[in-house]
């Protein structure tokens, strides 16, 4: 642990993404992984449904914010053998949280989660799924990363 970390926090050295280079490195790491999502939905009647997805996040090359405070990209969500769902994501860097507040939006699915500078092997997320016959279902889940071999 460096001496700078000792003065910042006596018990743990927490990374900050207070530079463009560190935010770019965080996003590069984030987009180099495949995320497995296990989600449990609960409908209005208390019935639970479990789904498993795999998600790949892609950072769009033409970012409008040179400081990488507001970022965006695309994602592919796969549920079993079904055709992948195309989705988009956006994020805003929050210095107090030391990471990005992320939102993933796809066909009938919305996920909100945080991407932290300290590490993201598991990402807890809140999910809203809209189904025309049953209204909205809310669920909680965990995104678990698996390193992509590119």
Average confidence (pLDDT) over 87-94: 95
Q: Is the pTM for the entire model greater than 0.75?
A: no
Residue 4 lies in a domain: no
Which pLDDT band holds residue 1 (cuts at 50, 70, 90)?
A: very low
Residue 6 lies in a domain: no
Which pLDDT band holds residue 91 (cuts at 50, 70, 90)?
A: very high
Residue 41 lies in a domain: yes
- Which of residues 8 and 21 earns the better pLDDT score? 21
Confidence (pLDDT) at 67? 94
Q: pLDDT tens digits, residue range 51-78?
A: 777 889 999 999 999 999 999 999 998 8
* Pairing, β 70-78 against β 109-116: unpaired
Structural domain harbouring 21: 12-147
Overall domain count for the chain: 1
How far is Cα 127 from Cα 38, in angstroms, rounded to an integer? 11
* CA atoms in the 13 A half-sphere facing the CB of 13: 6
Residue 129 lies in a domain: yes
Average confidence (pLDDT) over 81-101: 90
């Amino acid at each position: 642990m460096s001496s700078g970390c000792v003065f910042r926090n006596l018990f743990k050295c927490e990374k900050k993404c207070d530079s463009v280079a560190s935010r770019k490195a965080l996003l590069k790491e984030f987009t180099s992984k495949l995320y497995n999502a296990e989600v449990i939905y609960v409908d209005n009647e208390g019935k639970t449904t479990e789904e498993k997805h795999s998600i790949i996040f892609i950072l769009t090359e033409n970012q409008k914010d040179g400081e990488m405070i507001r970022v965006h990209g695309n994602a592919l969500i796969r549920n079993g053998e079904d055709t992948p769902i195309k989705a988009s994501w956006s994020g805003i860097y929050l210095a107090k949280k030391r990471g990005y507040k992320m939102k993933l939006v796809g066909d009938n699915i919305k996920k909100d989660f945080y991407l932290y500078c300290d590490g993201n092997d598991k990402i807890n997320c809140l999910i809203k799924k809209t189904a025309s016959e049953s209204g909205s279902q809310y669920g909680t889940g965990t995104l678990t990363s698996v390193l992509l071999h590119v």
